[in-house]
Amino acid sequence: MKMLKDLTLRLWLVAGLLIPALPAAAQVDNGQALLEALDVRAFDAKGQAIDAIINSGDARARDWLAALLDGRLQRSKADRRFVLVVSTDGRHWPVLDALSNDSLGTLGRRELNRISINNRLRNQLRNALAQLDLHGDDAALRRASAERLLGGVDDGLVPTLTALLAQESDRQTRHRLNQALAIHRLEQGDITAVETLTGDLHNEVRIALNRAAAGEGELAEAAGRALADIEQNLRLNRAAETLYFGLSLGSVLVLAAIGLAITFGVMGVINMAHGELIMLGAYSTWMLQQLLPGQPGLALLLAIPTGFLVAALTGIAIERGVIRHLKGKPLETLLATFGVSLILQQLVRTLVSPLNRTVVTPEWMSGSLVVNDALSLTLNRLYVLGFALLVFVALMWVMKGTRLGLEVRAVTQNRSMARAMGIRATRVDMLTFGLGSGVAGLAGVALSQLTNVGPNLGQNYIIDSFMVVVFGGVGNLWGTLVAGLSLGVLNQILEPWAGAVLAKIMVLVFIILFIQKRPRGLFPQKGRAAEG
């Protein structure tokens, strides 16, 4: 009897020691079994295995499903271990143990077997990942997951999504879930879903309504009316997008032309090297990014004063070395500045490279501002538009609120009288040319965020700059602003149906006809500039 009690006690002690270890062992065994069920030939069986993983509640389920969708869930040929491939670059890939997440070093691609899937399983996996992500705490992840479900909801998902919708706090996620459920109801023939989807601009909504409108009966008629309403909204959004791109293009033209308008108005000089001053501002941005690697935002902010100073000092050197010796000789000045532009281009090709350079856009300027499903505004163009307006305001303050501005206006209107009043016109010419050149450098800084930087960058904008100056009125800042924005919008409207080249020609013809009626531009300058 005593021996029986001792044996029973020992059995209980052994059981007590084993029981705490059972959950971990069961988890490993359960994970292995879940993955083993995926490594079969039949795709139907794989679909059942995916459902089993979803319902298992295993913390590793999402990683497994994401790796299976991406082709990164594979199996070692040597020991039949399931692994997650970290990267597929090169011949040998770093891998992790799928069960423990421990690093296993690298394996060659021929040492692994991929778990194959078909398109039906890919859709199932996308829906599964969306369901798992919808339970997470990250609102952005839940929004993206809800969007992936649009057009992919089946009867089995409806109760789950309905429950999630009831407890979802994020407004955008709720909107996406409502869309997904309404599309599903529409596919089932529920006419009330049309009312929910009316006015919605998402592409999946339009696809679902188009399918419904292709049928017959009351549902098709309601879907057709909803599509007509959506099409009207799309036209309005396309018009808004065209206006935005036109204004952003116009802001670039304003930046490129406003410095030219100042120098042309004061000195009557046609500066053919103005485009190369824009180029120098752009290269200043690129150079600072080379000096400050990994900090594109700081480099861009420093490029604003740097680009201004580099272009301004270059402009002053051109004015002191070339232009002041050719006063009163417009043709000679034009040819001389054209020669300077060729010299600057070749200098950049020799010292830097004839190839275009890419300027990195800071993270805070990347991406888009999403207004709705059919309209998004790229942030880099939005910043350039705002920057152009700030430069314009600053220049207006210089011209209206400083002594230099007063002297510039005096020399512009009547050089002889200004000299008689004690104003040193030659000094004003130098400072004005430096100011206009510096603004051209700022235009180059802005352009570096929209296009590649190269030796020919400025040549793409010099003709347009002259058109803006002539159209707006020589030496008038308000005229330059209105003309630049107007020509940008006009060009953007014409380009889609006329083509880029023909649109430019049409704009040029329009300006030629315009100056026949108003030779002094939209805002004619008073004084000597008007008389010349």
Tens digit of each residue's pLDDT (9 = 90 or more) over 431-464: 888 998 999 999 999 999 988 899 988 888 888 8
Contact 341, 272 (CB under 8 A): yes
Find the DSSP H helices in 322-378. Answer: 330-351
Long-range contacts of 64-73 (CB under 8 A, 24+ apart): 64/34, 64/35, 64/98, 65/125, 65/128, 65/129, 65/132, 66/129, 67/98, 68/38, 68/115, 68/117, 68/125, 69/117, 69/122, 69/125, 69/126, 69/129, 71/114, 73/35, 73/38, 73/98, 73/114, 73/115
- Assess if residue 318 is contained within a domain: yes
Span 201-220, mean pLDDT? 88
In the DSSP assignment, the letter for residue 442 is H
Span 397-422, mean pLDDT? 81
CA 28 to chain centre: 45
Nearest to 318 by CA among 343, 350, 348, 281: 343
- Assess if residue 64 is contained within a domain: no
Q: Provide the CB-side half-sphere exposure for 296 (13 A, CA).
A: 13
**What pLDDT shows up at residue 282?**
93
- Assess if residue 467 is contained within a domain: yes
Q: Mind giving me the DSSP string for 214-239?
A: TS-SHHHHHHHHHHHHHHHHHHHHHH
Tens digit of each residue's pLDDT (9 = 90 or more) over 309-345: 999 999 999 988 888 888 778 788 888 999 999 999 9
- Assess if residue 319 is contained within a domain: yes
CA 110 to chain centre: 39
Element (H, E) at 368: strand 368-372
**Beta pairing partners, 95:** 85
> What value does the mean pLDDT of the chain take?
84
Q: Is 359 left (phi over 0), alpha (psi -120 to 50) or beta?
A: beta
Nearest to 62 by CA among 139, 140, 133: 133
Asked if residue 382 has pLDDT above 90, the reply is yes
One-letter amino acid at 276 equals: E
- Assess if residue 336 is contained within a domain: yes
Q: Provide the pairing of β-strand 73-76 with 82-85.
A: antiparallel
**What pLDDT shows up at residue 2?**
45
Question: Does residue 257 sit in helix, strand or coil?
Answer: helix
- Assess if residue 208 is contained within a domain: no
Span 203-220, mean pLDDT? 88
Tokens 């999402």 — which residue? 62
- Assess if residue 422 is contained within a domain: yes
Within 373-456, strands assigned E span 375-378
Asked if residue 16 has pLDDT above 70, the reply is no
What distance separates the 2 farthest-apart alpha carbons in the chain?
Answer: 131
Share of the chain above pLDDT 90, in %: 23
**Beta pairing partners, 82:** 75
Contact 376, 369 (CB under 8 A): yes
Complete edge-to-edge strand list for the sheet that includes strand 103-108: 103-108, 92-97, 82-85, 73-76, 112-114
Tens digit of each residue's pLDDT (9 = 90 or more) over 159-197: 888 888 888 888 888 989 899 999 989 988 888 888 888
Between CA 487 and CA 89 the distance in angstroms is: 48
Question: Does residue 452 sit in helix, strand or coil?
Answer: coil
Nearest to 267 by CA among 218, 333, 217, 332: 333
- Assess if residue 299 is contained within a domain: yes
Q: How confident is the model at residue 532 (pLDDT cuts 50, 70, 90)?
A: very low
Nearest to 345 by CA among 271, 291, 278, 263: 278
**What pLDDT shows up at residue 259?**
84
Asked if residue 20 has pLDDT above 60, the reply is no
Nearest to 464 by CA among 275, 269, 338, 280: 275
**Beta pairing partners, 83:** 74, 97
Element (H, E) at 359: none
Query: What domain range is 494 assigned to?
Result: 252-361+387-526
Span 237-262, mean pLDDT? 89
Indicate the number of domains in the chain.
1
Question: Does residue 86 sit in helix, strand or coil?
Answer: coil
Query: Kindly report the CA angle at 382 between 482 and 291, in degrees rounded to 5?
Result: 115
Span 148-166, mean pLDDT? 83
Asked if residue 527 has pLDDT above 50, the reply is no
Nearest to 90 by CA among 75, 109, 70, 72: 109
pTM above 0.85, yes or no: no
Between CA 72 and CA 278 the distance in angstroms is: 48
* Residue 112 in tokens: 């692994």
Asked if residue 118 has pLDDT above 80, the reply is yes
Nearest to 68 by CA among 125, 128, 145, 132: 125
**What pLDDT shows up at residue 288?**
94
Span 411-423, mean pLDDT? 78
